[in-house]
């Protein structure tokens, strides 16, 4: 099956929702009644996140940075605990991720 999303994703256990604004990712409990006050992740090298994905097997977060649409975008990968893994160049405006199980 495929898991394609662009603005928000839910953790594999269903307990947390991850969404983005600017170059930050926010993490909120699915049971929360208010938005978090501070970001879960802020990527200082990013320009503007344009898409988010979560690997259904590993829980790794994928963040697509549009880099202002002036050229190739970049995808940043993070562990579920918010630690950075790596990044790689992608096409213009990366905003969707497909995971094949």
Q: Give alpha helix (H) positions in the chain.
A: none
pLDDT at 35: 84
Question: Which tens digits make up the pLDDT trace of 50-95?
Answer: 999 999 999 999 999 999 888 899 999 999 999 999 999 998 888 8
pLDDT at 6: 63
For the chain, what percent of residues have pLDDT higher than 70? 94
For the chain, what percent of residues have pLDDT higher than 90? 67
- Rounded to two decimals, the pTM is 0.87
> Are 94 and 73 a contacting pair, CB within 8 Å?
yes
pLDDT value at 28 more than 90? yes
pLDDT at 71: 87
pLDDT at 4: 47
Q: Which residue has the tokens 């802020």?
A: 42
d(CA 92, CA 8): 20
Q: Which residue has the tokens 């938005």?
A: 35
């Amino acid at each position: 099956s495929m898991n394609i999303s662009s603005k928000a994703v839910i953790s594999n256990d269903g307990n947390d929702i991850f969404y983005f604004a600017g170059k930050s990712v926010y993490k909120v409990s699915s049971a929360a009644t208010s938005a978090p006050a501070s970001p879960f992740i802020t990527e200082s090298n990013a320009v503007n996140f344009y898409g988010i994905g979560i690997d259904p097997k590993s829980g790794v977060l994928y963040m697509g940075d549009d880099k202002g649409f002036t050229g190739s975008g970049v995808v940043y990968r993070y562990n579920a605990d918010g630690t950075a893994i790596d990044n790689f160049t992608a096409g213009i405006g990366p905003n969707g991720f497909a995971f094949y199980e």
